[in-house]
Structure 1
Amino acid sequence: MHRFTEKQMDDIVVAHREAKDWSDWIALGTVRLLRWGTDLCTGYRHDKEVSKSETAAAAAVEKPPKFTMNERKWLIRFIFLESVAGVPGMVGGMLRHLRSMRKLRRDNGWIETLLEEAYNERMHLLTFLKMAEPGWFMRIMVLGAQGVFFNGFFFAYLISPRICHRFVGYLEEEAVLTYSRAIADIEAGKLPKWTNMPAPDIAVGYWKMPEGSQTVKDLLMYVRADEAKHREVNHTLGNLDQNEDPNPFNSNYYNPEKPHPTKSITHMRPTGWERDEVI
Structure 2
Amino acid sequence: MKKHHEPKALPDKLAYWLVKLLIVPKQLFFQRRHSSHALLLETVAAVPGMVGGMLLHLRSLRRFEHSGGWIRALLEEAENERMHLMTFLEVAQPKWWERALVLAAQGVYFNAYFVAYLASPKFAHRFVGYLEEEAVHAYTEYLKDLEAGIIENTPAPAIAIDYWRLPADAKLKDVVTVVRADEAHHRNVNHFASDIHYLGMKLKDTPAPLGYH
Q: 2:76·2:211 contact (CA, 8 Å) conserved in 1? A: no
Gaps of 5+ in 1: 1-12, 45-68, 251-261, 266-279
1:204 match: 161
Larger Rg over CA atoms: 1
Structure 1: distance between partners of 2:58 and 2:103: 26
Over the residues paired in the alignment, what is the CA RMSD in angstroms? 1.6
Query: How many angstroms does 1:264 deviate by?
Result: 5.1
Out of 216, 225, 244, the residue aligned to residue 202 of structure 2 is: 244
Residue type of the alignment partner of 1:263: G
Asked if residue 23 in structure 1 is aligned to residue 11 in structure 2, the reply is yes
Could you list the per-position Cα deviations for residues 67-117 of structure 1 after superposition, in whole angstroms to 9, with x for gaps in the alignment? Answer: xx3xxx211111011111000000000011111111222222210000000
Asked if residue 144 in structure 1 is aligned to residue 144 in structure 2, the reply is no
- SS of the residue 1:143 aligns to: helix
Across the two proteins, how many residue pairs are aligned to each other?
Answer: 210
2:48 match: 88
Could you list the per-position Cα deviations for residues 218-270 of structure 1 after superposition, in whole angstroms to 9, with x for gaps in the alignment? Answer: 000010000000011111111003772434335xxxxxxxxxxx4359xxxxx
Gaps of 5+ in 2: none
Asked if residue 231 in structure 1 is aligned to residue 148 in structure 2, the reply is no
Higher normalized helix content (fraction of residues): 2
TM-score in terms of structure 1 length: 0.72
Could you list the per-position Cα deviations for residues 115-155 of structure 1 after superposition, in whole angstroms to 9, with x for gaps in the alignment? Answer: 00000000000000011211111011000000000000000
1:222 match: 178
Structure 2: distance between partners of 1:95 and 1:37: 30
Per mean C-alpha deviation after superposition, the further-off stretch among 241-250 and 182-191 is 241-250
Within 5 Å, which residues of 2 pair with 1:129-208?
129-191=89-151, 193-194=152-153, 197-208=154-165
Structure 1: distance between partners of 2:47 and 2:109: 8
Decide whether aligned partners of structure 1 residues 247 and 34 sit closer, same or farther in structure 2, where only a CA change above 3 A counts: farther
Could you list the per-position Cα deviations for residues 154-194 of structure 1 after superposition, in whole angstroms to 9, with x for gaps in the alignment? Answer: 00000000011111110110000110111111112222x22
1:43 match: 30
Structure 2: distance between partners of 1:263 and 1:143: 28
1:122 match: 82
Q: List structure 1 runs of 4+ shifted beyond 4 angstroms.
A: none
Structure 2: distance between partners of 1:124 and 1:217: 14
- SS of the residue 2:196 aligns to: coil
Residue type of the alignment partner of 1:18: E
